[in-house]
Every structure is written in structure tokens, then in C-alpha cells.
Amino acid sequence: MTKKQLKFVGQSVPRVDGIEKVTGKAKFTGDLLIPGMLHGKILRSPYPHARIIHIDISQAEALPGVVAVLTAADISDLDPYYNGRPLIAIQKVRYVGEPVAAVAAIDELTAHEALSLIKVDYEELPAAVGLAAALKKGARLIHENAANNICSHEHVEKGNVEQGFVESDEIFEDSFTFPMVYHYALEPHSAIAQVNDEGITVWSSAQHPFQVRGDIAKIFRVHPTKVRMIISFLGGGFGSKSYTKFEPLVVALARKAGSPVRICNSVTESMLTVRRHAAKVRLKTGIKSDGTLIAREAEIYIDTGGYADNGPQVAIRAATRVLGPYRIPHICSDAYAVYTNVGGAGSFRAIGAPQTIFASESQMDMIAAKLGMDPAELRRKNFLKKGEELRPKLRGMDANLASDLKKLVSASEWKKRSKKKGAAMGLACGATNAGATPISVAMVRLQPDGSLVAFAGSTEMGQGVRTVLSQIIADELSLPLEAIQIGGADTQVTPYDASTGSSRSTTLMGTAVLRAAHDLRSQLLKIGAEAFRVKPSQIQLVDGAMICGEMRLNFREAMERRFGGSGGELIGHGDVGPEITGTLPVFWEIGMGSAELDVDQETGEVRIKRYVSVADVGKAIHPEGCVGQEEGAAMMGIGHTMFEQMVYEEGGELLNPNLIDYRVPTFSHVPSEFHTVLVENEDGPGPHGARGMGEGGLVSVAPAVTNALARGFGIRIKDLPLTPERVWRALKDKEKGK
């Protein structure tokens, strides 16, 4: 069979939403104005752990311009819990910043003034801030109905790890820590809600609109069809807008006010809403003297904050991702999500991976150094081969890891550059079980004029999903990109999509869209076959027309032929489910990187002068977009590695709740040389052999950098971030022989 010629797939076409965004026409939730809309503000707890004795809202309600004040007293008729948390504090608070009351007023200033008039009496309780405090013997229970502060536990076992250690020639045991970090999406969380006789409508910056719809339906005891989620554009997400955040609170406030209400978080409020889990990882690995991995035992604790959110899912992924992409006969991995009295943690690009791969890949270099082996060779020796199982109940490895590493070694000039005297160069490899829930449905509708409208529930948050889906459709139907219109998710209009996250959209929604376009293509070919009196297989689609020999019928003419006039439309349907791969994950996302450093030994400041990243994408639908995703992920990893950390005092107050005191990478932190290699083996489960990407580029940065420090300067740092003070102290300790 002749391979189909692709005109758009594989090309870096202009972004289909680019003009809207650069001209300011693109509307985000904070830009929307709904008739009669009120402005909302949230009163947040000043205490990390306290009982609510009494709330007096009388003065706030009496303030001119205030329409409604919401407290827990207003939600007694609801099922108020989602993801383990109440939509507003009920009887007690569990972190500084937890919503205690909310105000809807005619303008923001009035709403803000009303907050100062709400009087809350608290009874302070002992707080457990951080993992150590929450896990210590006798720690105060954050949730009284639990036996301890463990939120969830994931256990992974294969072989007999104790026997594996007996069989090992060398055993390495180390502990690593990773701080809590903030997503810093440019757009903080925002939502507008309207409640009337027709149902509930929410305009939101949600990554998972159908999941949020389900939570709201459950909370307000209505059928999901009575809840409509409308998503325009998101100003970034990175997981911060996964699952349900504060949409139910806005709905409850709108219900009481009897008018639409909008609440937009400040950056500080979003920092208290969700973040990445801080982690402590203990790793014990047994090896043979030739470098063969025999056994690995892992104990992981992650700080999930006052409520579960998706901490259990992060623990599940962490327990697997700590194993690395390696063949280890004996494993025992335990991951615990832990309740603490700080702001909640949830999804964040490559959940559970940066924390655990930092530990795993750091220890791999420690093993290589002890054995006198090249770090790249140690990894190659232990890589899983295609089809081999990492752990029970997961799909075998679907990527060629050795080939990917070979490309990293070549592109980074590892063999030459790492051998130079004093070379501060390190590498790392990561594999994450990606793809999430494999359920996506799409629809394409061909209009009488030959243009096409596509309906897909994937959220556009800057990653370029609308462009990629348009490219897939354009090639399948031989349409120009400008003839394709694709908008945002609207649960009343767009078909179901499980989520936008876990690198799944190109693979899963892309497949659904491809199948929908193929369905429409079949309908067109049937019309063409009848018109030309030939078999459908004899017809070609070229530039919005069907051609057979010298006969030609464009799509507009085909529509007229089918419907006998200028009306009607053809609708193509496509869906994808678990059958796409059978056993999860949908695919393994591979990310590898190497770093070369400069270090100012007088100050401890680390500078990445050269970084090379390898992404195994299967097929790059939009190459420039893939490179942008990989570089963006690596820059986020640089932030995680070098300086990002949310700092809480013992009393539960966040000390750096703004973008002055909390540092994120800037252009000055971009490596002097920054290279991305895209591996295209066309062996992924998505359209044209694509596999998802966008998370793998993050996970190798921290271990590659710390490995480079160890290799070039003889200091092994196991706690992030690499602040100048931490690096300087490590250098001084080495000088003193500590």
C-alpha cells in the first residue's frame, strides 16, 4: 500500500489561533462580560488549622452594593464535597487560604470591602506543616475520621526484593528531597457561573471540563445535562487547572445571588489553590559488580496539603516512575500521599516524575561513579527493550530506549565533551507512563459551502492542540487549513473528552478527530462514486475536491448533489477508547537530557551553558510546536532545579506568595546553547505514529544538572533547589574534607 502523502502533518504551519492571540481578540475567562454579572471575592482562612466557631456576615450583607454573602450555612442542601474537599470550609479550616466565605457585589471594590466586614471566630488547633510534622508520632489528625495523616498509599511489587539484595554485590541507599513548586500559568484561576431555571452554566479556565461538569452535577444534585461548561482559551495550565478547583464555590455564590458571578484569583490565591507536591524519596538499589540492576526498594512521601485533590493519583504514578526505564527483577515501591496543613497540591506536568526521577537518575550516576562505568553505558546496559515489562499490570515498553540514548550521546557529544578534565557534564533519562484515560470523542461537520467545523473537547491552553487537530483533519480530507474552524470546549455542544493532560490530546483526541474525518471522507467518496459511476477507491481527494481522471467534483458541489440545494451538512463521527492499546499506559513518554555547567565557586551560582534534550515523539505533527513544548518543559525543569520553592513557616503562612519573592526562570536563565532532538520512529499509537510529548523534557533536567555538579566539582547534592548558598556550602564542605 502506498504511503499517504501528507501536506500539513509534519509541517510547522502557522498557529490557527495565532492571529486571535497576538491581536488581543482571543477571549479568556477574565475578559468575558455576562449580562447582569456580579463580581466575587473569597474570604480566606488566616490559620492553617482551626475550628470555625461563628461567622457574622450581617455587616457585609448591609453594605450597599453587596448582593450575596456565602458561607457553609448556605450549602446544607448540597452534597458539598469533591476530590475530598468541601466547596467552602465546613466547621474547620485546614490551611491558610482555605475559602471561609464569599461575597458577590456590583463591583470588585465593594466585594473587597465587604470581606473586611465579615467577622469569623476561630479556635486555633495544632498544625502539621510539612511532611515531618504530619508523620511524627502523636501528630494532630488533619482529618479526624482517619487513623493517621496518610491520605493514600500505592504499593508496587515484583519478584522478591530482599532476595534481590542478597544476590547483589553492591547496595546503594540514599535519600533525596524535592520542594513544593508553583505552576505559574500566566492566567490565574477564573470562573463565571450562572444558575437559572434552565440549569447551571459555567465559563471557566478548566483543563478537564467534562470532569468539572460531573463534580458540579453531583454537588448540586442535578443531571449532568443540566450543567454546561464553556471553555474559551486558557492562559497556560501545566496541570494547575486539572480537575475541579473552585468552580462549585462560584456556582453556589451565583445560586444565592440570583445573578451571574465572576471570581478571578490573584497570583497569591492561585498559589494557595494548587502546587506541585513536595517529596522525600528514600531509594535502595542493589547491583551486580558489572552494573546489572538487581533490586530496588523505594519509599516516597509526598505532601498533598489539607485535602486529597489528586494526591492519590500522584502517589500511584510516583511509585512507578521512581523505577526508571530499567530492567529490575526485584522491586518494592511504596508511595504515600500525606495530609499537611498547607495549601493543596495537585496535577503538575509529569505528576510524580520530577521528584522521583531526580532521585533515581542521581543514584544511577552514583552507581556508575562507584563502579567506574560511563553513566551512559550503565543506563544502556539496563534499559528495558521493546515489549519488556517495567512492573506488573502495565503495558510493556513501546519505545527504543537504546536508540534514543544513542541520539542524546551523539547530539551532546558526550563521548568527547564529558571526558575533558573537570568537565561539569551530566545526563539523565526518564520514562513516564502517559496517556491517562483513553476516552475521546470528536465530530466534524461539513458545511454547504465546503468549509468544515470541528468539535473536540480538548482544551487549548497554549500547547497548540487546535492547530494539531486541524492539521490532522486537513490531510485526511485534503482541505486547506483556513477552511477548518475549531473552537473551545462546550459540554452542551462538543462531544466527550476525558481530559486535557498527561500528554494525551494529540494521541487520543487526535485519533478521534482522524476517525471522524475518515468517516466524513467515506461519505464524500460515496457521493463521488455515484456521481462518477466508479468505485470509491478510484477517487482522490485534492484541495477540497474529488477527482477521478478528468472528472472533478468539489465539496460544495457534492453537498448540493446530496441535498439537492444549498442546505444540509455531512457529519463525521470518531471516537477512541481502551481498545487503542489495551493495557495502560496508552504510551510511554520518553525524555532524556544532558547538561553542561559553569559554576562560580566564589558565589555558588550555577549556570547551564549547554543543554541537549531528546524527545521521542513518534511523529512530529507540528515540529516547531514540539520543539517549543520540549524547550518550555526544560525551562520549567531549570526553574525547579535552580531556585523555585514555596517556603512555608512553621505557623503555616506562605512566606513567598508572589512573583517577586517566588522566582521563576527568565530569559537570562536560558542555556547559551539549547538543542532539541525529535525522534520520529512513527511507532506511537496516535495519528501517523505520533506519541504524546510535552512533559518528558522536564524530568531529566534536575538529575542531569546535579550529575554534572558531581562529575565536574565532586559535590553530590540530594536536596533541591540548587540555590547559590546550597552549592557554595557543598563546595566549602568538600574543601574541608567533609
- Is the pLDDT reported for residue 183 higher than 50? yes
Distances in whole angstroms, Cα of residue 703 to Cα of each of 176, 246, 320, 351: 11, 35, 18, 16
Q: Could you tell me if 461 and 555 lie in one domain?
A: yes
Q: What is the pLDDT of residues 20-59, one digit of tens each?
A: 999 999 999 999 999 999 999 999 999 999 999 999 999 9
What is the identity of the amino acid at 316?
I
158 assigned to some structural domain: no
Q: Could you tell me if 541 and 528 lie in one domain?
A: yes
Q: Could you tell me if 603 and 667 lie in one domain?
A: yes
12 assigned to some structural domain: no
Domain boundary among the residues 515, 550, 580 is at: 580
The number of folded domains in the chain is 3
- Is the pLDDT reported for residue 737 higher than 90? no
716 assigned to some structural domain: yes
Q: Which three cell numbers stand for residue 490?
A: 462546550
653 assigned to some structural domain: yes
- Is the pLDDT reported for residue 307 higher than 60? yes
Q: Could you tell me if 298 and 447 lie in one domain?
A: no
The pLDDT, as a whole number, for residue 566 is: 84
- The CATH number covering residue 68 comes to 3.90.1170.50
The pLDDT, as a whole number, for residue 3 is: 65
Confidence of residue 731 (pLDDT cuts 50, 70, 90): very high
Q: Could you tell me if 402 and 450 lie in one domain?
A: no
**Between 602 and 1, whose confidence is greater?**
602
Residue at grid coordinates 482555605: 98
Domain boundary among the residues 518, 547, 580 is at: 580
The pLDDT, as a whole number, for residue 418 is: 95
Minimal CA–CA distance to 37: which of 111, 98, 87? 111
Q: Could you tell me if 609 and 652 lie in one domain?
A: yes
151 assigned to some structural domain: no
Q: What is the pLDDT of residues 378-433, one digit of tens each?
A: 999 999 999 999 999 999 999 999 999 999 999 999 999 999 988 999 999 999 99
Average confidence (pLDDT) over 715-725: 98
Q: Could you tell me if 454 and 566 lie in one domain?
A: yes
- The CATH number covering residue 369 comes to 3.30.365.10
Q: Could you tell me if 611 and 726 lie in one domain?
A: yes
Residues above pLDDT 70, as percent of the chain:
100
What is the pTM assigned to this prediction? 0.96
The pLDDT, as a whole number, for residue 4 is: 73
Q: Could you tell me if 491 and 571 lie in one domain?
A: yes
Q: What is the pLDDT of residues 625-674, one digit of tens each?
A: 999 999 999 999 999 999 999 999 999 999 999 999 999 999 999 999 99
- Is the pLDDT reported for residue 232 higher than 80? yes
Average confidence (pLDDT) over 506-534: 97
Q: What is the pLDDT of residues 645-659, one digit of tens each?
A: 999 999 999 999 999
Domain boundary among the residues 543, 562, 580 is at: 580
141 assigned to some structural domain: no
* Burial call 135-165: b when 16+ CB within 10 Å, e when fewer: beeebeebbeeeeebbbbebebebeebeebb
Average confidence (pLDDT) over 188-208: 97
3-state SS, residue 27: coil
Q: What is the pLDDT of residues 136-153, one digit of tens each?
A: 999 999 999 999 999 999
* Burial call 235-260: b when 16+ CB within 10 Å, e when fewer: bbbbbbbbbbbbbbbbbbbbbbbebb
Strands 99-105 and 66-70: antiparallel
The pLDDT, as a whole number, for residue 488 is: 93
159 assigned to some structural domain: no
382 assigned to some structural domain: yes
Tell which phi-psi region holds residue 604, choosing left (phi > 0), alpha (psi between -120 and 50) or beta.
Answer: left
Q: Could you tell me if 215 and 283 lie in one domain?
A: no
Q: Could you tell me if 662 and 567 lie in one domain?
A: no
- Rounded to whole angstroms, the Cα distance separating 732 from 738 reads 9
Q: What is the pLDDT of residues 452-484, one digit of tens each?
A: 999 999 999 999 999 999 999 999 999 999 999
Identify the domain containing residue 568 by its residue range: 18-26+437-580
Confidence of residue 614 (pLDDT cuts 50, 70, 90): very high
pLDDT averaged over the chain? 96
Confidence of residue 1 (pLDDT cuts 50, 70, 90): very low
- Rounded to whole angstroms, the Cα distance separating 275 from 412 reads 33
Q: Could you tell me if 267 and 310 lie in one domain?
A: no
Minimal CA–CA distance to 679: which of 467, 419, 400, 345? 400
